[in-house]
Structure 1
Amino acid sequence: MPGTNLTRAEAEARAAVVTTDGYDIELDLTTSETTFRSTSTVRFSATPGESTFIDLIAPSVLSITLNGQPLDPAAHFVDSRISLPGLAAQNELTVVADCAYMNTGEGLHRFVDPEDGEVYLYSQFEVADTRRVFAVFEQPDLKASFTFTVTAPAHWHVLSNSPSTKEAADGTIEIAGTSHDVARWSFSPTTRIPCYVTAIVAGPYHEVQGSVESRKGTLSANVYCRKALAEFLDADVILDDTQKGFSFYEEKFQMDYPFEKYDQIFVPEFNAGAMENAGCVTFLEDYVFRSKTAQARVERRTITVLHELAHMWFGDLVTMRWWNDLWLNESFAEFMSTLCAAEATRYSDAWVTFNSLEKSWAYRQDQLPSTHPIMAEIRDLEDVEVNFDGITYAKGASVLRQLVAYVGQDEFFAGVQEYFRKHHHSNAVLTDLLVELEAASGRDLSAWSDVWLQKAGVTTLRPVIEEDSNGEIAAFSVLQEVPAEWPTQRPHRVGIGAYDVVSDDAGEATLKRTAYVEVDVDGPRTEIPALVGIRRPALILVNDGDLAYAKVRLDDVSLATAVKHVGAFTDAMPRSMVLSAAWDMTRDGEMPARRFADLVLGCIATEDQSTVVLTLLRQLDTALSLYVAPSASEEATRSAAATLWSLALGAEAGSDNQLQFVRAFASLATDDVQLDTLQALIDGKVTLEGLPLDADLTWDLLTALAAGGRVGELAIELQLSNDATASGQRRAATARAAVATPEAKQATWDALVNAAEGEDMPNALQFAATAGFSTVHDTTLLEPFVDQYFAMLRRIYSDKTNEMATNLIEGLYPVELAGRVPDLQDKAFAWIEANADAHDALKRLVREGSDGVRRALVNQAADAAYEG
């Protein structure tokens, strides 16, 4: 990615020279199938006589005019920058360029629907891809007003941040063999916003008109998706979630929604879950559910809708000055979306979901060698790209939750309200928020900020319990264990719950809380005298209620109780906490992977939290594929698959668990009997009441058969002919890549890594094929690619865009060969040593992959000693 980076020092120097006023952007989307005409007129003030540059990535710049004087594009446009010499106090710059459509999910992405040949466009600008569409000062602190004019086919919807007017324009354009008239959309100027939340969405999208009630009146709030997905779009549910968010946030922030409308568009081939473009939010179209889906996905969509809406205030209205405060944007939106879901929607257990899914992501990220403080040091744009991680989102949100508890929720929102009043439409830094929280709460937050925001690593809280001869607790303490690399002792407010097995009125065993204390844990050892003298309970849970950000341990007695009775909790939160603790113990080699598998398989049938089930099944898959000793892996996987099939047969017809168990069974099915069952399900010889064999479930089963060596290209093509959709193409890419032959693996590798220039897969197909490539039962199929992997790293990182390169480097790392290729770690270490001059972001990706292998080896050794 040469010539496209921007350093923080360069951004600060430019901001000292330039103040932006406004942009007039004219886009003509009718010029060709590969490029579009972009005309940017930028008005800005500057220090007279100084020079600077503006950003643009384009295959061709036709003209540059600065203050009425032409500049030679050949001399002034180099890599991604246009140099601007001899600035005046007030300046006007016009740049005319042909910019390229992208198929990577960056810039202006162009998608052709395989069903009807129609074209769909959408922009994705964060972190620094606005410059792929128009000339721009690409940094968050140079906010401006943006006015867009777009020429496009008249039968399209064209959307941006503001309302528009549409009028006929000269000319026609041919799409999929049909001639269409052309129209021009003129959008009203935006308020001052950062460039990365501007947006252009264009195409024959299906529209559902809607509205929301704001404090300032009724606002237009339309919902859009591709025409092919129109029958599946539950816009009423999405708008209901949106309205709940509007009401909740405007009351909490005491600040009106800051824009004129609120469109939500579900777009194809999106790289992330969603993007908070001001008044024009884009979402991954997988959130339009064309098949029966787990309730966890539906809940995740609600959280995502609320997350992006929170950004309208925190990020769009008040914007970070530089990307080192990205965490605050994302953590705030993550915290607020979960709080809103728990208090204002039907997902009252949203904090259970947060514990199961988000915090497990944070703990995993925080234990990598690349962990960093929540306030990460961001030197340049490439640093930003790899920091959209579990620290930035989930750890930050966890710490914000602690902060709210520390200062008080009312005081927290009082401080936030003042922050919005002082900094709306401008830029701010963390200190600006902390000042208001200190004023509202009366607490000094400097020490809190130092240990939680500026120090990395996650601590472990371990109970130490002594019993007397009568079975009573004689001493109770909590040890705080810190990683050697980040030896920071932090204060924690934690609940400690004591649980015993009791029988309910029906004679069923339940785990009932019999004692609870809430204490401050600080330092290496904290004594808990409040629990001394009580009878030793069956299970003791540190961090009961999930108040703290810390891994916790179960003592031996509590772990034994958990393995036998974890399903007997009547409350979802402690059950989730115990399961999370067991997983942390497994990942750290303190609990054999097969014992964790027994725990999951023994309790999952009674779990009623869809996201917890989803998370447990993912953890089970990781444990079986990476953490079980290789000598025991095949039998453990076969046994787990058999249990999951039994659970599926016993699950309530049509239930969420039934669907998740069948999918998990398919992914683990290995022996002939299990693969025969999958084929019988596809053939209709075996059916489950309440479980339709819809398109996505069929692909799940077919991909499992491909990985099991039962089907190849013919069966995949047949299914694709039955599902000739964009989703079908993605699922077929995964299935082809999973075919269990050396030839299929090599063909997939070549398509992903060795494609000729201009023949790269679109981002969504690349992601799908990468997932399928690593789906193997016979890991020897992957061994020939180990050396090829390390050989391709610098080329891929240099030649591809950040999104495409990162997906390949992470997705193809041969972690599945841990314990099976003896010198795998040596190869990684040798590459890092030989490539000391590579960008730190690339070396970080390799170190993270290597650490995944290291952890697998530790766990395989622990599991090898297990005799359960």
Structure 2
Amino acid sequence: MPGENLTRVEAQERAGIIAVESYDVDLDLTRGDEVFGSTTTVRFSATPGSSTFIDAITRTVHSVTLNGVVLDPSVSDGVRIALDDLAASNELTVVADALYTNTGEGLHRFVDPVDGEVYLYSQFEVPDSRRMFAVFEQPDLKATFRFTVTAPEHWEVVSNQTTPPPTEAAPGAKTWAFEPTPRISSYITALIAGPYAVVRCELTSSDGRVIPLGVFARKSLVEYLDADYVFEKTRQGFAYFEEKFRRAYPFEKYDQLFVPEFNAGAMENAGAVTFTESYVFRSKVTDAIRERRVVTILHELAHMWFGDLVTMKWWNDLWLNESFAEWASTIATAEATEWTEAWTTFAAMEKSWAYRQDQLPSTHPIVATINDLEDVQVNFDGITYAKGGSVLKQLVAWVGIDAFFAGVAAYFEKHAWGNTELSDLLVELETASGRDLSAWATLWLETAGVNTLRPVIETDAAGVITRFDIEQTAIDAYPTLRPHRLAVGFYTLTDGRLARTHRVELDVDGAVTSVDELVGLARPDLVLLNDDDLAYAKIRLDEASLAVAIENLAGFESPLARSLVWGSVWDATRDAEVPARDFVKLVLGNIATETESTTLRTVLSQVVLAASAYTTPERRDETLREVADTLWTLARTADAGSDSQFQFVKAFASIAESSSDLAVVADLLSGAVSLDGLDVDTDLGWELLIALVAGGLAGEAEIDARLASDNTATGQQSAAHARAALPTVEGKHAAWASLVEVSTAPNTIVRTTALGFLRAADPELLAPFVKPYFDMLLPVWEDRSYAIAEKLIVGLYPSPLANRALVDATNAWLEANAEPPALRRLIVENLAGVERALAAQERDAR
């Protein structure tokens, strides 16, 4: 990877020398399963006599022609092509062979095990369009792109512009010559090709244009594609964003393509958005996943304006792209679709992610320092997405929603098709709102860390409040205290229901804020800071409110209030302020009636982690058994066919370790035990089998048999997960070797194998891999692509051991390896999770 890096200084220097006009890219996809032909002609202006380079990761460069002069191919090192003695106006042609990948980067090639068909798709963010064509790979060197593609004649070929009628090429092949794109950045160009099935539709934009729509999936998956629903959400998103942004959709068509082996949820290629095909539901999924798909659809649609029409100048403003899309997709989901509790989902999932990321040693300001491409690769994190989105939500509350949208609309109008920095947006928001945002930006965007807010309440003998203060603290490493706009809610318990009986909204600033308007009121049963979730801050319940929550959390009428309390107690558990046993008690006593699917999914994941990693080892087995038994009871008593029933079964299978619990799992899989309304379909069947394999009650024969009946891409991934979960030394060594000693596994197999490798009822199975883990770090970092290296470095860290020996070994590696910074960051984050688990275990033991 180091040879593929690009520094910000290099990008600034290059942007100071050249301006790009256009690319003509000719691709030949008929040359076999390893390479494709890539011919690029780029026209650009430059400072006469200057030198620079163009990016091109290639197998072979056949020729480089600059202004009619054929250069020695040695000007290419396989990553960059040196360009010297440039003219004022230049034309460069590069003829090369490029490589398909199976890592989800560049031009990814996938063979469908069902029918042997080949599917391709591009994924270019951050630095990977250079894997498909020669390009000045940085976001501020925008240009037009004209793609000409030769491919098998039975394929669909999709790019940013409308797909043209093909012309005949060689026998069995055709050529598609696309019109040039508008002026865009290279990372949002796209090529998707293969025998995809497509459903087409259209809508009328606010400016009267008819916008063609397409939804694509592999032929073997198309029977599960609910295209009408995707079109419905797309129409709702178009109408919402065009109204709020006061600007029509900026491109000529909008295709949405569900593609195999995708590394992320989706990618905002202009007019050709790619999604993970796990959003094509071949089996039952939770309502949380269904809602997440809607948010993702709207997230990528928001990017068509914020990110594609107007693009950041450099990756330090990546957060602005992603945070805006997070905020915009959430408000659109809440206001324009049936998922009206989207802000509760945001609190349960995004904000919990943000708080977790912001408490890691690697936390950073929202406006991060991005020195090079390796820096930005590791910054697709909870700060960039979730904290930024949370802070934008608070900014909206401060300036007002109408002023915020007016400022955004002015920003689009002024900077359409250009590149911007944060200050460009703040200027428009200040103009629209009349507020000075400089201090806000400094405190919220340029400093790291999350504040903690605690109520300090005193009452007289009659229970009347005589003092109500909000204390704000910060850790020593990040001591900034910030202004917060928040609400305080009073909740009264009546007949088992917790209803809000009083609310006050105020500004909190400094170490102590007195809330005088609450003095003289009767103390309620529960006091909730940050009611309605306006602020970005960790909140704590006072002792009396925590006791009421543990016994009565299910009684909250408000799903958002419940979510805030769940999150508060979980964060206090992670901080070793509350023992894990209290969190387990809270969950087991109150989760049965949780109505919000994402909250349910999040809390179930948290209670599994609390039982397995945060509980003192002396009580671990007992706690795991208690959680598993309760989850199974909840599954049996839940409404037939409900989302809750489904989630309780899945969580039970993930934690089942005792012989009696595994026997229940086996009976569920065989059909000897059934629950009304629960269908043990293909994917749930795999989850149950993986639990049995991890528990030693199934093995290779059962895995092979199930794979034979589901020899699909998803089936192969699940089989890899299951094999890596075998609870034997031999099984773990085989999983390790398949990833570390062999480098051919595709990205999804790497991910699922790592999941199975870490699944161990007896964590000591992983002890022999501590030294090999640290031995493999530098070779993997140097030899594998970023997408694969990250999966191995995070996915194979033996965190279930959670012991002092692992901490010592990790610290020893960090002390011995000062470079590279991006790799160290991943290791520091791995270590932080183990240290937090040890602190939580110590607290639980008291």
Asked whether the two chains share a fold, i.e. TM above 0.5, the reply is yes
Q: Deviations over 1:671-730 (max 9, x none)?
A: 111111111111111111111111000000000011111111110000001111111000
Q: Which of 537, 559, 568 is the equivalent residue of 1:581?
A: 568
Q: Which of 178, 182, 200 is the equivalent residue of 1:187?
A: 178
> For 1:592 and 1:471, how far apart are their aligned partners in 2?
28
Secondary structure of 2:20's counterpart equals strand
Are residue 799 (structure 1) and residue 783 (structure 2) matched?
yes
Give 1:537 shift. Answer: 1.2
Q: Which amino acid in structure 1 is aligned with residue 147 of structure 2?
A: F
Structure 1 match to 2:329: 337
Q: Point out 4+ residue stretches in structure 1 off by more than 4 angstroms.
A: none
CA contact (8 A) 1:3 1:79 kept: no
Larger mean CA deviation between 622-631 and 336-345 belongs to 622-631
Are residue 788 (structure 1) and residue 772 (structure 2) matched?
yes
Secondary structure of 1:363's counterpart equals helix
CA contact (8 A) 2:160 2:190 kept: yes
Give 1:213 shift. Answer: 2.5
Q: Which amino acid in structure 2 is aligned with residue 359 of structure 1?
A: K
Q: Which of 755, 761, 783 is the equivalent residue of 1:777?
A: 761
Secondary structure of 1:793's counterpart equals helix
> For 1:780 and 1:536, how far apart are their aligned partners in 2?
50
> For 2:770 and 2:112, how far apart are their aligned partners in 1?
36
Are residue 510 (structure 1) and residue 497 (structure 2) matched?
yes
Secondary structure of 1:545's counterpart equals helix
Are residue 546 (structure 1) and residue 527 (structure 2) matched?
no
Are residue 27 (structure 1) and residue 37 (structure 2) matched?
no
Secondary structure of 2:718's counterpart equals helix
Secondary structure of 2:3's counterpart equals coil
Q: Which amino acid in structure 2 is aligned with residue 249 of structure 1?
A: F
Structure 2 match to 1:175: none
Q: Which amino acid in structure 1 is aligned with residue 498 of structure 2?
A: L
Structure 2 match to 1:176: none
Are residue 849 (structure 1) and residue 830 (structure 2) matched?
yes
Structure 2 match to 1:177: none
Q: Deviations over 1:89-121 (max 9, x none)?
A: 110000000000000000000000001100000
Structure 1 match to 2:246: 254
> For 1:2 and 1:551, how far apart are their aligned partners in 2?
38
Give 1:232 shift. Answer: 0.5
Give 1:467 shift. Answer: 1.6
Structure 1 match to 2:140: 141
Secondary structure of 2:704's counterpart equals helix
Q: Which of 813, 817, 826 is the equivalent residue of 1:831?
A: 813
CA contact (8 A) 2:59 2:78 kept: no
Are residue 861 (structure 1) and residue 832 (structure 2) matched?
no
CA contact (8 A) 1:29 1:37 kept: yes
CA contact (8 A) 1:308 1:333 kept: yes
> For 2:720 and 2:662, how far apart are their aligned partners in 1?
21
CA contact (8 A) 1:479 1:525 kept: yes
Q: Which of 536, 542, 548 is the equivalent residue of 1:555?
A: 542
> For 1:197 and 1:212, how far apart are their aligned partners in 2?
23
Give 1:79 shift. Answer: 4.1
Q: Which amino acid in structure 1 is aligned with residue 32 of structure 2?
A: S
Secondary structure of 2:169's counterpart equals strand
> For 2:537 and 2:418, how far apart are their aligned partners in 1?
35
CA contact (8 A) 1:411 1:437 kept: yes
> For 2:746 and 2:59, how far apart are their aligned partners in 1?
19
Q: Which of 690, 701, 724 is the equivalent residue of 1:703?
A: 690
Q: Deviations over 1:511-541 (max 9, x none)?
A: 0112211111100111111111222211100
Are residue 375 (structure 1) and residue 357 (structure 2) matched?
no
Q: Deviations over 1:294-321 (max 9, x none)?
A: 0000000000000000000000000000
Secondary structure of 1:415's counterpart equals helix
Q: Deviations over 1:557-604 (max 9, x none)?
A: 000000000000111111111111111111111111121011111111
Q: Which amino acid in structure 2 is aligned with residue 670 of structure 1?
A: E
> For 1:409 and 1:710, how far apart are their aligned partners in 2?
56
CA contact (8 A) 2:23 2:42 kept: yes
CA contact (8 A) 2:488 2:529 kept: yes
Structure 2 match to 1:572: 559
Structure 1 match to 2:118: 119
Q: Which amino acid in structure 2 is aligned with residue 827 of structure 1?
A: A
CA-based RMSD: 0.8
Give 1:624 shift. Answer: 1.3
Q: Deviations over 1:633-652 (max 9, x none)?
A: 11100110000000000011
> For 2:2 and 2:587, how far apart are their aligned partners in 1?
47
Are residue 446 (structure 1) and residue 438 (structure 2) matched?
yes
> For 1:746 and 1:813, how far apart are their aligned partners in 2?
14
Give 1:212 shift. Answer: 2.3
Secondary structure of 2:4's counterpart equals coil
> For 1:265 and 1:813, how far apart are their aligned partners in 2?
33
CA contact (8 A) 1:166 1:183 kept: no
Structure 2 match to 1:298: 290
Structure 2 match to 1:815: 799
CA contact (8 A) 2:41 2:91 kept: yes
Structure 2 match to 1:690: 677
Q: Which amino acid in structure 2 is aligned with residue 773 of structure 1?
A: F
> For 1:728 and 1:338, how far apart are their aligned partners in 2?
32
Larger mean CA deviation between 294-303 and 203-212 belongs to 203-212
Q: Equivalent residues in 2 for 1:223-372 (5 A)?
A: 223-372=215-364
Report the number of matched residues. 845
Structure 2 match to 1:602: 589
Secondary structure of 1:143's counterpart equals coil
Are residue 421 (structure 1) and residue 413 (structure 2) matched?
yes
> For 1:495 and 1:348, how far apart are their aligned partners in 2?
21
Larger mean CA deviation between 207-216 and 615-624 belongs to 207-216
Give 1:191 shift. Answer: 0.3
Structure 1 match to 2:7: 7
Q: Which amino acid in structure 2 is aligned with residue 852 of structure 1?
A: G
Secondary structure of 2:647's counterpart equals helix
> For 1:513 and 1:408, how far apart are their aligned partners in 2?
25
Secondary structure of 2:482's counterpart equals coil
Secondary structure of 1:210's counterpart equals strand
Q: Equivalent residues in 2 for 1:77-92 (5 A)?
A: 77-92=76-91
> For 1:165 and 1:804, how far apart are their aligned partners in 2?
35
Q: Deviations over 1:340-388 (max 9, x none)?
A: 0011100111000000000000000000000000000000000000000
Q: Which of 568, 578, 592 is the equivalent residue of 1:591?
A: 578
Secondary structure of 1:221's counterpart equals strand
Are residue 196 (structure 1) and residue 187 (structure 2) matched?
yes
Q: Which of 493, 496, 521 is the equivalent residue of 2:485?
A: 493
Secondary structure of 1:854's counterpart equals helix
CA contact (8 A) 1:267 1:285 kept: yes
Q: Which of 680, 701, 721 is the equivalent residue of 2:667?
A: 680
TM-score, L = length of structure 2: 0.99
Secondary structure of 2:595's counterpart equals coil
> For 1:303 and 1:136, how far apart are their aligned partners in 2?
32
CA contact (8 A) 1:466 1:475 kept: yes
Structure 2 match to 1:622: 609
Are residue 42 (structure 1) and residue 29 (structure 2) matched?
no
> For 1:594 and 1:231, how far apart are their aligned partners in 2?
46
TM-score, L = length of structure 1: 0.97
Q: Deviations over 1:44-94 (max 9, x none)?
A: 0011111110000011001000000001112x0014100011101110000
> For 1:170 and 1:670, how far apart are their aligned partners in 2?
59
Which residues of structure 1 form unaligned runs of 5+? 173-180, 504-508
Structure 2 match to 1:645: 632
Q: Which amino acid in structure 2 is aligned with residue 11 of structure 1?
A: A
Secondary structure of 1:486's counterpart equals coil
Q: Which amino acid in structure 1 is aligned with residue 28 of structure 2?
A: D
Give 1:169 shift. Answer: 2.6
Secondary structure of 2:139's counterpart equals coil
Q: Which amino acid in structure 1 is aligned with residue 340 of structure 2?
A: S
Secondary structure of 2:457's counterpart equals strand
